[in-house]
Structure formats: structure tokens, C-alpha cells
């Protein structure tokens, strides 16, 4: 990291850098958390004293949190990746005091906050997912969920306030300790924390898109205000893309009547100024390439190469998530085979859609729709010696990396997405330089527009047309675009992403009156 943070850094995220499971023998085993966000945030661990506060997500996590002395988990935060559970403490990696604190929030409160508000309400709002003739319906049940959401956010604010150490009397946010609060789950935390600890510099980062004001206004008025005022408790609010930052400013103006300066990108509300920044997250290319060269990935490369039998591969890899638009993606593949029958027998679609949020009925139904559509395509076009589509619904990271390496075309068509790192990972690994068909509604489209074929994710015929163009592209054109894609994907890797936020927070905190 270029910016050298001093003092303590507090990180708060719903999903932490480690998770636990309970074996048949009743023993707890731990797994490191994956993904770019955890890797990005872990990058700070080598440079500063870190306290990472996260929620216990299931019974095994709760048991581990209860068993941890003083709530401190036996987890090392390493700069080279994520939380690494182990016998040793955090000493030596993130400084002697670095640690993870997993909050044992009562299961019912957690369920209402995480499933009811975060994933069924705020996620739906920011991704424009509601079937509006029927939902949302904000009644008494929602009010119970909202109370739990407040309690869950307050638990984080309390833990952060306590973990920040003794307050410096009379100090303002100019002091050394910084808190970096992540995502829509914790939208109320910045304000709650600022009230408890005015001496901290606080940043919030949204990993999702932000809804336009008309759609944001579906929320009950008081809830809409509380969400915005929650984030405005921070000194700095970050987003992956300009569009989402602009939408946030629009909402602050429309809903709160806040004073918005679009040039300086600041919001002034209730006597406090929040700066708003765009910090797109990229991929750690050397680390990804090293991982993709490992033996377990190579074994999948061999298996998938045999499966393809020399045919071109269209690859997609997603959580089975409503916003990922998998059903329309499959419909586009079907149209490709109908409109351009020359591809029949010459292409295979690998669709890896791994399970996500199965506590929510909408997600279970969506998984069923994906499977139904996949069966229909196989029935309609499959022959004795050609499987047009291979749908895998289990998570297998080495197999996903192998698919990236072999892809001729990558399809990423979310209806809306904060960033989408799949669109950035595949170009860095694909051996033939894959063409990328990308939704214009993904945050990544801002950086990948020159190299990708952008599509309207609702337009299935246009997506089919883009798939046809991608498959038909000359080698020169594909290589030209692949080079642009790889370059854009590797810029702003997690450590730089984090450093940019810390330095923006530094500047923002200095603006606050002493
Ligand atoms: C999105 C969110 C993350 C979240 C991830 C997985 O990327 O922005 O905050 O961790 O989805 O969702 P889950 O509900 O499984 O944590």
C-alpha cells in the first residue's frame, strides 16, 4: 500500500474473514473467508493494528464467538489474502493487537436484520429487483425487522466504539483511529458510531449500486432518511462507480434536502460534511495468476478440455443471485442457437451458478427457474454427441479458475451490479483472450467499456447478437480487446483500492472542524 496508515484501523463487515462449521464429532473447524473484498481489507493488516468486527452468521460461528476469550478470535489477518485461522494469534502479521471480533447477535435479530432488511429490502432497492405490483409491502412485519436492523447495527457500533480504545478527551475526527464500515448491511453504523465516538474518522463503502431517487423512495420516508443519514454520519462515503456515487448524491438532495456540491462531491447535512468518492476495486493479477496455475486448477483444465472436445466455450460464473440475470442469459444462449444455427454442435455453454442466500424463498425459486431453463435448452438442442449446456450449481473455485482459463467468451449480464469482479478476473486468466459480453448496468462497465461488448441486460435478442459477435470475432480483434480488458482489470488492485480510501478519509477527516 502506498499510503502508510498510522494507528488503529477498525473494519466492520457483516461477513468476516473467517467462518466456522461444526463437525459430526462436535468440533469446530474454521475456514478462511474468500473474495476480493476480504482480500482488499486484509491488505491493511500488514501495515496497521486492525480490529475486524463481523457477525456470527450461523450456529457454528456463534459457538466459536462464545468460546473466544473476551470475544477475540484466534485468527491471523495476513496481508497476502484473508483471515487465516490457525493456532497462533494475530501477533506479527497485523501488529500484536490485530484481531477479529465476531458478534454473537441473537439468531432472531440477525435473521430479521440480514434476511429481512439487508437482503430482502435494501439489496432489492439498490438492484431494482422488486416485482412492484406485489412487493414491497411495508407493514408491521417490516417494522419488526427494521427494529432488529437497528439493534444489529447498534451492536456493531458498540463493538467498534469499545474496540477503538480509550477516547482522547475533546478530540475530533482528526485523531489517528479510522473505522471502515462496509456495505448496505451496516448503513446505520457510521452515524451510530460517530455519536458514540466523535474522535474517530469514519468511512463507509457501498459494494452495491445505489438506487435512483424515484426507486429509493419506495422505502418508507423515515427509513429512507435513516439510511441516508446513517451513511452521512461518515466523513467519507465510497462507491465502486461514478453512477452509484451520483445516485447517492441525488437521493441526499431529493430525500433529505441536503446541501450537495457536485463539483467538490460533498454532502452537508445536519452540520456535518461527508465527502463522496469513487474507488473502483480491481483484481490482484499476480496473486490470481499464481492461484490459477496450481495443480488442482490444472486437473479441471484437463477435464473441461475433454468435455469441450474442441468446441468453443461460452462461460458464466455467478452466485445464483436474482440480480445476476442468469435466466435471461440462458434465454440469450437459446436465441443464439435458434437465430445462428451454425453454432449448434460447435459451442458449449458452461454455466456455473453456485448457491446463495437460500434462506430466502425468492432465491430458492430463482435457482429452480435457472435449472428449469437449462433443462429446456438441453432437451431442445442436445444430441447424442453434443451437450449444448453444462449447468453446475455447486461452488468449486479451482473449477471456476479453469473455466476462466479456457473461455472463448465470458457472459456477465447482471440487471445491476455494484462492480462485478468476474468480468475482471476472466480477462486476466483466459489463455485465448476471451471476448467479454458485459451488461452496461454493471459497475465494471465503466472501466471495461472499450474492450467488452456492452449489452442491455433486459434485451435477450441483443445479448444473443453480442454472443454471436463474440464467437465470430477475428483473432486480431479479440486480442486487441483482451489486452484492453486485462489492463483495466488489473488496475486498482485491492491494496491500492484500500489505500485510496484511507487517504480520502484522511483528507475528509481534516476538513471537519476541530
Ligand atoms: C455482495 C455484497 C457483499 C456480500 C456478498 C455475498 O457482493 O456486496 O457484502 O458479502 O454479496 O452475499 P452474502 O449474503 O452471501 O454475504
Each residue of 88-103: pLDDT tens digit?
223 223 444 568 999 9
pLDDT tens profile 193-204: 999 999 999 999
Q: Is 207 in the pocket of ligand 1 (CB under 6 A)?
A: yes
Q: Which helix (H) or strand (E) holds 461?
A: helix 460-472
Atom number, ligand 1, closest to the C-alpha of residue 418: 8
Query: Confidence class of residue 506 from pLDDT cuts 50, 70 and 90?
Result: very high
Joined together, the cell numbers standing for residue 464 give 444473443
pLDDT tens profile 19-56: 899 998 889 988 877 666 676 677 777 677 889 999 99
Joined together, the cell numbers standing for residue 251 give 437521493
Query: Confidence class of residue 189 from pLDDT cuts 50, 70 and 90?
Result: very high
Residue nearest to atom 7 of ligand 1 (CA): 207
Q: Is 417 in the pocket of ligand 1 (CB under 6 A)?
A: no
- Going from the Cα of 125 to the center of ligand 1, the distance in angstroms, rounded, reads 15
pLDDT at 84 exceeding the cut of 60: no
Residue 407 phi/psi, 5-degree rounding, is -60, 135
State the chain's mean pLDDT as an integer. Answer: 91
- Mutate which of 34, 120, 183 for ligand 1 pocket (most atoms within 8 A of beta carbon): 183
The three-class DSSP label of residue 386 is: strand
Residue nearest to atom 3 of ligand 1 (CA): 207
pLDDT at 129 exceeding the cut of 90: yes
pLDDT at 7 exceeding the cut of 60: yes
Q: Is 204 in the pocket of ligand 1 (CB under 6 A)?
A: no
Q: What is the pLDDT of residue 34?
A: 64
Query: Confidence class of residue 173 from pLDDT cuts 50, 70 and 90?
Result: low
Q: Is 371 in the pocket of ligand 1 (CB under 6 A)?
A: no
Residue nearest to atom 8 of ligand 1 (CA): 207
pLDDT tens profile 231-283: 999 999 999 999 999 999 999 999 999 999 999 999 999 999 999 999 999 99
Residue nearest to atom 16 of ligand 1 (CA): 15
Q: Is 183 in the pocket of ligand 1 (CB under 6 A)?
A: yes
Residue nearest to atom 14 of ligand 1 (CA): 357
Q: Is 208 in the pocket of ligand 1 (CB under 6 A)?
A: yes
Residue nearest to atom 5 of ligand 1 (CA): 15
Computed on alpha carbons and rounded to an integer, the radius of gyration of the chain in Å comes to: 23
Q: Which residues of 46-71 are buried (b: 16+ CB within 10 A; e: fewer)?
A: bbbbbbbbbbbbeebbbbbbeebeeb
Q: Which residues of 311-349 are buried (b: 16+ CB within 10 A; e: fewer)?
A: bbbbbbbbbbbbbbbbbbbbbbbbbbbeebeebeeebbb
Q: What is the pLDDT of residue 147?
A: 98
pLDDT tens profile 323-372: 999 999 999 999 999 999 999 999 999 999 999 999 999 999 999 999 99
Q: Is 324 in the pocket of ligand 1 (CB under 6 A)?
A: no
Q: Which helix (H) or strand (E) holds 494?
A: helix 494-511
Distance, CA of 90 to CA of 71 (rounded, Å) = 14
Provide mean pLDDT across the span 48-73.
Answer: 88
pLDDT tens profile 286-295: 999 999 999 9
Q: Give the length of the chain.
A: 514
Q: Is 15 in the pocket of ligand 1 (CB under 6 A)?
A: yes
pTM for the full model? 0.94
Atom number, ligand 1, closest to the C-alpha of residue 208: 8
pLDDT tens profile 373-408: 999 999 999 999 999 999 999 989 999 999 999 999
Atom number, ligand 1, closest to the C-alpha of residue 13: 9
pLDDT at 77 exceeding the cut of 70: no
- Going from the Cα of 26 to the center of ligand 1, the distance in angstroms, rounded, reads 28
- Going from the Cα of 177 to the center of ligand 1, the distance in angstroms, rounded, reads 26
pLDDT tens profile 302-316: 999 999 999 999 999
CA atoms within 13 A on the CB side of 417: 29
Q: What is the pLDDT of residue 327?
A: 98
- Going from the Cα of 356 to the center of ligand 1, the distance in angstroms, rounded, reads 9
Name the percent of the chain lying above pLDDT 90.
81
Q: Is 512 in the pocket of ligand 1 (CB under 6 A)?
A: no
- If one compares 450 and 8, the residue with the highest pLDDT of the two is 450
pLDDT at 83 exceeding the cut of 70: no
Four-residue CA torsion sign, 101, 105, 111, 116:
negative
Joined together, the cell numbers standing for residue 512 give 471537519
Q: What is the pLDDT of residue 68?
A: 87
State how beta strands 83-85 and 75-77 pair.
antiparallel
Q: Is 349 in the pocket of ligand 1 (CB under 6 A)?
A: no
Atom number, ligand 1, closest to the C-alpha of residue 57: 16
Q: What is the pLDDT of residue 38?
A: 73
Q: What is the pLDDT of residue 31?
A: 83
On whether the CB atoms of residues 381 and 339 are closer than 8 A, the answer is no
Distance, CA of 397 to CA of 447 (rounded, Å) = 25
- If one compares 212 and 48, the residue with the highest pLDDT of the two is 212
On whether the CB atoms of residues 326 and 353 are closer than 8 A, the answer is yes
The neighbour count for residue 398, using CB atoms within 10 Å, is: 17
- Going from the Cα of 115 to the center of ligand 1, the distance in angstroms, rounded, reads 12
Amino acid at each position: 500500500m502506498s499510503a502508510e496508515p498510522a494507528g488503529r484501523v477498525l473494519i466492520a463487515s457483516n461477513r468476516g474473514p473467517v467462518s466456522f462449521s461444526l463437525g459430526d464429532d462436535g468440533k469446530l473447524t474454521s475456514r478462511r473467508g474468500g473474495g476480493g473484498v476480504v482480500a482488499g481489507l486484509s491488505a491493511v493488516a500488514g501495515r496497521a493494528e486492525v480490529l475486524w468486527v463481523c457477525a456470527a452468521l450461523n450456529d457454528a460461528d456463534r459457538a466459536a464467538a462464545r468460546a473466544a476469550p473476551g470475544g477475540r478470535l484466534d485468527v491471523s489477518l495476513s496481508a497476502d489474502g484473508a483471515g487465516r485461522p490457525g493456532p497462533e494469534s494475530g501477533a506479527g502479521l497485523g501488529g500484536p493487537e490485530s484481531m477479529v471480533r465476531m458478534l454473537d447477535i441473537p439468531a432472531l435479530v440477525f435473521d430479521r436484520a440480514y434476511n429481512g432488511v439487508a437482503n430482502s429490502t435494501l439489496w432489492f432497492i439498490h438492484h431494482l429487483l422488486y416485482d412492484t405490483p406485489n412487493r414491497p409491502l411495508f407493514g408491521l412485519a417490516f417494522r419488526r425487522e427494521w427494529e432488529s436492523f437497528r439493534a444489529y447495527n447498534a451492536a456493531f457500533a458498540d463493538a467498534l466504539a469499545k474496540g477503538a480504545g480509550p477516547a482522547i478527551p475533546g478530540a475530533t475526527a482528526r485523531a489517528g483511529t479510522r473505522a471502515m464500515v462496509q456495505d448496505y448491511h451496516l448503513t446505520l453504523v457510521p452515524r451510530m458510531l460517530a455519536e458514540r465516538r466523535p474522535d474517530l474518522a469514519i468511512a463507509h463503502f457501498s459494494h452495491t449500486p445505489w438506487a435512483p431517487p424515484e426507486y429509493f423512495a419506495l422505502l418508507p420516508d423515515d427509513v429512507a432518511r435513516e439510511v441516508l443519514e446513517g451513511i452521512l454520519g461518515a466523513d467519507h462515503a465510497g462507491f465502486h462507480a461514478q453512477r452509484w456515487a451520483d445516485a447517492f448524491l441525488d437521493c441526499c438532495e431529493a430525500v433529505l434536502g441536503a446541501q450537495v456540491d457536485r463539483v467538490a462531491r460533498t454532502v452537508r447535512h445536519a452540520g456535518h460534511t461527508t465527502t463522496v468518492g469513487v474507488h473502483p476495486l480491481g483484481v490482484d493479477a499476480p496473486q490470481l495468476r499464481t492461484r490459477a496455475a496450481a495443480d488442482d486448477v490444472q486437473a479441471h483444465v484437463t477435464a473441461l478440455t475433454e468435455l469441450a472436445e474442441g468446441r468453443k466455450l461460452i462461460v458464466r460464473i455467478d452466485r445464483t443471485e436474482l440480480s445476476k440475470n442468469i435466466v435471461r442469459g440462458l434465454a440469450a444462449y437459446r436465441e443464439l442457437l435458434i437465430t445462428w444455427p451454425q453454432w449448434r454442435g460447435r459451442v458449449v455453454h458452461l454455466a456455473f451458478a453456485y448457491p446463495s442466500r437460500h434462506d430466502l424463498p425468492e432465491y430458492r425459486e430463482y435457482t429452480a427457474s435457472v435449472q428449469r431453463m437449462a433443462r429446456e435448452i438441453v432437451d431442445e438442442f442436445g444430441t447424442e454427441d453434443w451437450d449444448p449446456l453444462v449447468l453446475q450449481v455447486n461452488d468449486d473455485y479451482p473449477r471456476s479458475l479453469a473455466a476462466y482459463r479456457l473461455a472463448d467468451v465470458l457472459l456477465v449480464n447482471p440487471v445491476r451490479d455494484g462492480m462485478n469482479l468476474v468480468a475482471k478476473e476472466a480477462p486476466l486468466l483466459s489463455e485465448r483472450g476471451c471476448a467479454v459480453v458485459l451488461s452496461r448496468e454493471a459497475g465494471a462497465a465503466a472501466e471495461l467499456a472499450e474492450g467488452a461488448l456492452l449489452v442491455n441486460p433486459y434485451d435477450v435478442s441483443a445479448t444473443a447478437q453480442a454472443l454471436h459477435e463474440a464467437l465470430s470475432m477475428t483473432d486480431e480483434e479479440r486480442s486487441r480487446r483482451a489486452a484492453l480488458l486485462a489492463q483495466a482489470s488489473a488496475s486498482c488492485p485491492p491494496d491500492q483500492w484500500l489505500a485510496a480510501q484511507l487517504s480520502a478519509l484522511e483528507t475528509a477527516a481534516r476538513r471537519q472542524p476541530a
